[in-house]
Chains A and B, each alone.
Chain A
Amino acid sequence: MSSRDEIFEKVRAALVDALGVDEEDVTPEATMVGDLGAESIDFLDIVFRLEKAFSIKIPRGELFPEDVLSSSEFVADGKVNAAGIAELKSRMPFADLSKFEANPSVQNFANTLTVEDMVRYVESKVAG
C-alpha cells in the first residue's frame, strides 16, 4: 500500500499534468477550482490520470457528485438543502464539507474540494 506522501506526490503529478499548474502551487490546502483553476472537463481528465497512476476505478459521480448538485430533490433556490448535505456527506466521506455547510450555495461547491480531499479520496480507494 502506498504511504500518504507517495499518494500526495502522485496526485500532485496528475494535477500538474492535467491543469498545467506549477508543482509548488499544488499544496494540500489549495482548492481545485479556485486556486488551481480546474474546469469541469479537467475533472474527467484528472479521473483518467488518477485511475492510471493508482490502478483504481473511479465511477462517474463518485469524486464530484454533479448529479446531487443538479437534482431538484437536493437543491432549492440555488442552495443545497439538508437532505442534499446529508447525501453529499455520505457520498463524499473523504471531503471536509464544514465550510460548504455554512454557505451551501451550489456555486460555492466548486470551491470546496481541495487537494487534500483528493488525496484522502485516493487513500480510501487504495486501501479498499
Chain B
Amino acid sequence: MRWFWIDRFEEFVRGSRAVAIKNVSLAEEHMHDHFPGLPLMPNSLIVEGMAQTAGLLVADAIDFNRRVVLAKVAAATFHFDAVPGDTLRFDASVLDLKPAGSLTKVTSMIGDQLQGEAELFFAHLEPGEGVPTLFSPDELLTWLDHLRLFDVGKDQEGKPLLRRDW
C-alpha cells in the first residue's frame, strides 16, 4: 500500500502551478472510524494531498535531483469538511523557489467553494541530509504516470513535458 492522496493532475505548468484532484470515497478505510456515523475526510490528509500536489510541482522544477520534504505547514485554514462523494481540487502555486527550499500556496476547492487553504514550506535535502531514499526511480515514474503528469504537464513555454528517462 502506498501513501497516495491525489488521484491525478488536471493541469501542471513547470515551476509555477499545478492542479490535482482527489475523489473522496467511503471505500477509504480511514472513513470507517473517522467518525462512526459521520464519515469525514481528515483535514490532515487533505494537507497531505496539498503537499503531494505542491511537492511534485517543486520536485519537477528542480529536476528531481533533491528530496523534497514537507518541512512546515506555515499556515492552514479549513472552512468546511469534505465528505464521501466530494471531489477536492487542489490548486498549488510556487511563491518562492530556491535550491535549499520552497514556499508554496495551495487551495482546496469543492465545486466553486473554498474548502481550505495552506502555505506549505518544503526543504530540498541532498542525499545524506537525514532522509532515506523515498522512491526508486521506476516507482516514482509509475506514480507520475498514474497521476497523468506527462499527459497534462507543460513547460513554461507551453510545450509538453517529456517523460523522464530514468
Task: List residues of chain A with CB under 8 Å of any chain B CB.
Answer: 17-18, 41-42, 44-45, 48, 52, 60
Q: Count A/B pairs, Cβ under 8 Å.
A: 26
A60 touches B72 (CB 8 A): no
B71 touches A18 (CB 8 A): no
Report the interface size class on chain B. 10 to 19
A52 touches B71 (CB 8 A): no
B123 touches A41 (CB 8 A): yes
Can you name the residue of chain B whose Cβ is closest to the Cβ of A18?
B74
Known: A44-B123, A48-B103. A17 touches B96 (CB 8 A): no
Can you name the residue of chain B whose Cβ is closest to the Cβ of A39?
B72
Complex CA distance for A41 and B71, rounded to whole angstroms? 7
B72 touches A45 (CB 8 A): yes
- Taking a contact as CB atoms closer than 8 A, the residue among A17, A42, A48 that contacts B98 in the complex is A48
Known: A41-B123, A44-B123, A45-B121. A60 touches B74 (CB 8 A): no
Can you name the residue of chain A whose Cβ is closest to the Cβ of B69?
A41
Known: A17-B74, A18-B74. A44 touches B96 (CB 8 A): no
A45 touches B74 (CB 8 A): yes
Complex CA distance for A52 and B96, rounded to whole angstroms? 9
Q: How far is the CB of A105 from chain B (nearest CB, A)?
A: 22
A60 touches B100 (CB 8 A): yes
Residues of chain A lying within 8 A (CB to CB) of residue B74: 17-18, 45
Q: How far is the CB of A50 from chain B (nearest CB, A)?
A: 12
Complex CA distance for A44 and B121, rounded to whole angstroms? 9
